Chains A and B, each alone.
Chain A
Amino acid sequence: MLEFLPEDMRNEILKRTRGTLTELRIRQDRPVRAAEYFCGRIIKREVTEKKASRKDIEKIILKLCDFSIYSKETNIKNGYITSKNGERVGICGTVVYDGEKVSTIKEFSSLVVRIPNDISGCSVGFISGFTEKPLNVLVVSPPYNGKTTFIRDLGRQYSDRFGINALFIDERDELTGGGAYYLGKNSDVMKYCDKAFGIRCGVRNLNPDVIVCDEIMSSADADALKFAKESGVKIIASAHSDNLENIIQKEELSKIFKCFMFDIILFLKDFSVSSVYDGKLNKLC
C-alpha cells in the first residue's frame, strides 16, 4: 500500500493513520492531508508535519510510472496514474496542448490519491433482496461513496454464485486494483480500454452475460450500452450524481437514459445503499 510514496512520507502517514485510509492529498509546499474512515465517519486531517516539495511530487510520479514516463503517457494525458496496487492518483499541474489535443501535463503541483477498498459481500444484501438473475443495474452516488466497490462486488457475486460470465471493462485499473482484487471465477477483464470500445469488443468477441463498467458519462458510452442491450447483454454500471433529478438533468446522462433503460437504479450514500428505483424511476425502497 502506498509503495510509490517516498519512504519517510509513507512511514509518517501510516504511523499517524488511525482508521481506514481512503484518500490522500499531496500538495506542493503543504503537509499531506488524509481522509480516513474512522468510527463510522470520514475524518480529514493533516498526517505529515513535513511539507511535500515539488521534487517529492516528481519522484512519486516517476515511481508510479516505474521510472518510465513514456509507459504511462496516455494516463498522464488523462490526468491520472493507477499504481500497481490499484490506488488511483489524480494529477494536477500545467496542461500542455498540441493543437486542440492535450499533449501532456507537466510541472506537477498536487496529487490526489484515492485508495480503493474491496469489501467482499457488500452487494449480497442487494442480490438477495432484488434479484438473483443479472439485471441492468446503475449504481449512482457522488464521488467517493463506494460505487466502484459495489459494482466490483456485484460482478464478482454474479460470477461466483451463479456461474455468470462477467466481463469487467476496467478503464482505469480500479476494478481489478492492479490485479490485487479477486473478481470471480467466471470473470474476464479488459484493462485500460475505454468503455465504448470495451463494450463493443466484448460483446462481439467474448460473449459475456453481463458487463461491469465504472463511470458511464459520454454519448459514446450511451451508444455502446445500446449496442449491448440490443445484443442481450446485461450491464452493471456506475455514474456520478447525488440524486435522481440531477441524473435526468445531466445532459450526457439523460442521453444514456433515452437510449438505455436500466432495470434498477441504486443510490449510495456514505458507502451504503440509500435508495433504489426501478427503470421507470419509481422508488422501490
Chain B
Amino acid sequence: MGWLTGALAWLADGAHWQGADGVPQRLLEHVGLSAAAVGIGCLVALPLGLWLGHVRRGGAFAVATGNLARAVPTFAVLVLLALAPSPFGLGTTSTLTALVLFAVPPLLTNAYVGVLEVDPAAVDAARGMGLTSSQVLRRVELPLAVPLVMNGVRLAAVQVVATATIAALVAGGGLGRIIVEGFGRQDQAQLLAGAFLVLALALAVEGGMELLQRRVDPLRRARGRQRVAADAHLDVRSGSS
C-alpha cells in the first residue's frame, strides 16, 4: 500500500496547495471552466430541446445527436480543436468549445423527452382553459418536464467534469493537469493524488446535482420519488469520458 501513503503524503504537503499550479488554483480552473460550459450548454440546448418537445418534432435529430456524441471520442475533439486555426488552437477557447459540444447532447435529449412525455391530457386541459401555445409550454409542460431537464443538467455536468480532466492531456489546466504532470515526471504519488482529487470532485458534482435535482422539482411533494428520472438515467445518457 506504499502507493496510497505516497499519494496521501503528496496531498498533505502544504507546498502543493499554493501558487499558480497549486490544488486550489487547479480546482478553480476545473470548476470555472466546467460551470461555464454547462451554463452555455443550457442556454443553447434547453430552449431548443423544450421547443422541439413542444412542437413534437425533431425526435430523430435529438436521438441522433445523442448517439453521435457517444461515438465521438472527447479526446479526439479536444486535440482537433487544439490544432485548428484561430480562434481555436491551444487555449481556453478550444477547451470550452469542446466541453460545450459534449454538454449539449444530454441537455437536448432530456429536455426534448421531458416535454414530449408530459401527459397529453394535461396539455389538452390547459388548451381547453384557453392557454396559448407559449403559455402551455411555460406553465404546464415546462414544470412537468423539470425532473428530466434537471437529469440532463446532471448528466451534462458529470460529462463536462470528466472531459475537462482529459483537456489537461491537451493544453487545459484543471485538476487533470496534476495527473498529467505526475505521468510526465513519473511521479506516482502525484498522479494518484491528482486522480483522487478528480474523483472527489466528480462525486461531489454528482451528489450536488442530485440534491439540486430533487430540490427544484416543483411537483416533488405531489409525486414522491422520481422513478421516471431515475430510470431515464442510462437511456438518455450520451458521450463518454
Q: Do A and B bind each other?
A: no
